[in-house]
């Protein structure tokens, strides 16, 4: 027994023996650790994938999702592994989920998170305008979000009324281009979409002006966009360009006064009075400042507007007709209009 013990002692005192045993132990530990990591990496996990290509802003239904096994190493931290976190949600804007693709946390959002980028860009005090277009009026779908455009207006049919064409509003920034279904034309998608509307924001007075013009088809009015010439600045005020077109629109429409609790606006609305002895003579009273602070004009029936720079104007009628007077604030473009019929009843005794 003592000889066996002595032999073991001599064996472990041998430096070469100890080195070999140490190397063997290290190799075994490395093999075990490597095998464990490999097994964990290739261990299959079940994840949802798309059964078809899913376009942006699309609700993800149950039949669009199937589950497959994938090696754990190929699944990153931002991959959604729970099917219930996908079905009933939406594909993110400007995101196409290809067939067979995994679902990632930044490509799937809830319905309440779906933004409309166009509306978020509307400036304070502006109203969203939906301007109808087609492939031709967008120059072969060449007007993009962020482009600056001008709105031109054509009046008359060349027969009863001479044709007049001019720039009505200029330097408008396009916020979105959408098709007839309301989908963004230039989204990252494989679908072919045709432009149906340009979305942009306008100050309230310009919105009202453009909207009134859009209802004047019977007068031969046509509106169409034109890309803004030259290098349009990123910053710049949208402004009314042609006062003559503005006067034409106002002469063929009536503004409904809005009571905001202030008398300032009502003071700018022109008033009418008739001559006691001849109610075919109508006197228009304008506010102070015509020609400086305001553009004052009047229109008889369907004739061209006449601009005046004085406070009172008397108009004589030979036959019954309509008289329209307008005051446009030069600083803001806001228009105040009044219309009356001639002869006007004389209220004075």
Q: What is the pLDDT of residues 85-112, one digit of tens each?
A: 999 998 887 788 999 999 998 889 887 6
Q: Could you tell me which CATH number the domain at 44-113 has?
A: 3.90.1210.10
Amino acid 189: pLDDT? 66
pLDDT in tens, 287-299: 988 888 888 999 9
What value does the mean pLDDT take over residues 27-35? 70
Q: Determine the Cα–Cα distance for residues 147 and 144; give it in Å rounded to an integer.
A: 6
* 257-342, CATH topology level: Immunoglobulin-like (2.60.40)
Amino acid 219: pLDDT? 84
Phi-psi region of 171 (alpha: psi -120 to 50; beta: other; left: phi over 0): left
By CB neighbour count within 10 A (0-12 exposed, 13-18 middle, 19+ buried), where does 169 fall?
Answer: buried
pLDDT in tens, 136-162: 999 999 999 989 999 999 988 777 778
Q: How confident is the model at residue 225 (pLDDT cuts 50, 70, 90)?
A: very high
Q: Determine the Cα–Cα distance for residues 74 and 53; give it in Å rounded to an integer.
A: 21
Our separate counts of H helices and E strands in the chain read 6, 18
Q: How confident is the model at residue 13 (pLDDT cuts 50, 70, 90)?
A: low
Distances in Å between the Cα of 213 and the Cα atoms of 70, 73, 118, 221, 320 are 61, 63, 24, 7, 26
Q: How confident is the model at residue 183 (pLDDT cuts 50, 70, 90)?
A: confident
Q: Which of 310, 326, 308 is nearest to 251 (CA)?
A: 326
Q: What b/e string do you get for 289-310 counting C-beta neighbours within 10 Å, with b at 16 or more?
A: ebeeebbbbbbbeeeebeebee
Q: Determine the Cα–Cα distance for residues 141 and 195; give it in Å rounded to an integer.
A: 7
Beta strands in 116-249 (DSSP E): 126-132, 148-155, 164-173, 176-178, 197-203, 222-227, 239-240
Q: How confident is the model at residue 65 (pLDDT cuts 50, 70, 90)?
A: very high
Lowest-pLDDT range, 46-50, 55-59, 118-122, 190-194? 118-122
pTM for this entry: 0.49
Q: How confident is the model at residue 226 (pLDDT cuts 50, 70, 90)?
A: very high
Are 246 and 166 contacting, i.e. CB atoms less than 8 angstroms apart? no
Query: How much is the CA Rg of the chain, to the nearest whole Å?
Result: 38
Per-residue tokens: 76: 């990153």
Q: Determine the Cα–Cα distance for residues 222 and 214; give it in Å rounded to an integer.
A: 8
**Is the pLDDT at 12 greater than 60, yes or no?**
no
Q: Determine the Cα–Cα distance for residues 21 and 138; give it in Å rounded to an integer.
A: 81
Residue 239, classed as helix, strand or coil, is strand
Q: How confident is the model at residue 117 (pLDDT cuts 50, 70, 90)?
A: low
Q: Which of 252, 240, 249 is nearest to 204 (CA)?
A: 240
Are 165 and 154 contacting, i.e. CB atoms less than 8 angstroms apart? yes
**Is the pLDDT at 73 greater than 80, yes or no?**
no
Residue 214, classed as helix, strand or coil, is helix
Are 197 and 141 contacting, i.e. CB atoms less than 8 angstroms apart? no
Q: Determine the Cα–Cα distance for residues 289 and 308; give it in Å rounded to an integer.
A: 11
Per-residue tokens: 277: 């002895």
Average pLDDT, the chain: 80
Q: How confident is the model at residue 268 (pLDDT cuts 50, 70, 90)?
A: confident
Are 196 and 184 contacting, i.e. CB atoms less than 8 angstroms apart? no
Distances in Å between the Cα of 172 and the Cα atoms of 3, 185, 200 are 104, 19, 7
For 9, the enclosing helix (H) or strand (E) is helix 2-13
Are 210 and 151 contacting, i.e. CB atoms less than 8 angstroms apart? yes
Phi-psi region of 307 (alpha: psi -120 to 50; beta: other; left: phi over 0): beta
């Amino acid at each position: 027994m003592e000889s066996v013990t002595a032999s073991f002692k001599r064996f472990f005192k041998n430096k070469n023996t100890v080195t070999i045993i140490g190397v063997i132990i290290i190799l075994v530990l490395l093999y075990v650790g490597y095998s464990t990591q490999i097994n964990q990496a290739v261990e299959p996990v079940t994840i949802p994938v798309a059964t078809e290509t899913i376009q942006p802003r699309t609700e993800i239904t149950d039949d669009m999702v199937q589950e497959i096994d994938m090696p754990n190493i190929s699944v990153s931290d931002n991959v959604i592994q729970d099917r219930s976190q996908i079905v009933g949600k939406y594909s993110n804007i400007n995101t196409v989920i290809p067939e067979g693709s995994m679902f990632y946390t930044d490509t799937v959002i809830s319905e309440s998170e779906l933004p409309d980028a166009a509306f978020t860009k509307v400036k304070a005090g502006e109203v969203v305008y939906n301007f109808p277009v087609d492939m031709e009026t967008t120059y072969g779908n060449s007007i993009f979000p962020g482009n600056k455009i001008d709105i031109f207006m054509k009046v008359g049919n060349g027969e009863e009324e001479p044709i007049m064409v001019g720039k009505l509003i200029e330097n408008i920034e396009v916020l979105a281009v959408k098709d007839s279904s309301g989908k963004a034309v230039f989204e990252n998608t494989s679908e072919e979409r045709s432009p149906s509307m340009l979305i942009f924001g306008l100050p309230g007075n310009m919105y009202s002006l453009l909207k009134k013009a859009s209802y004047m088809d019977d007068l031969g009015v046509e509106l169409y966009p034109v890309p803004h010439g030259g290098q349009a600045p990123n910053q710049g005020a949208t402004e009314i360009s042609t006062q003559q077109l503005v006067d034409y629109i106002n002469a063929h429409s009536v503004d409904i006064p809005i009571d905001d609790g202030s008398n300032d606006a009502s003071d700018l609305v022109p008033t009418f009075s008739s001559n006691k002895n001849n109610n075919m003579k109508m006197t228009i009273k304008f506010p102070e400042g015509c020609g400086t602070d305001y553009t004052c004009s009047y229109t008889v029936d369907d004739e061209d507007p006449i601009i005046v720079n004085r406070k009172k104007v008397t108009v004589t009628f030979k036959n019954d007709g309509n008289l329209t007077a307008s005051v446009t604030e030069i600083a803001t473009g806001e228009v105040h209009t009044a219309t009356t019929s001639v002869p006007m009843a004389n209220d004075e005794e």
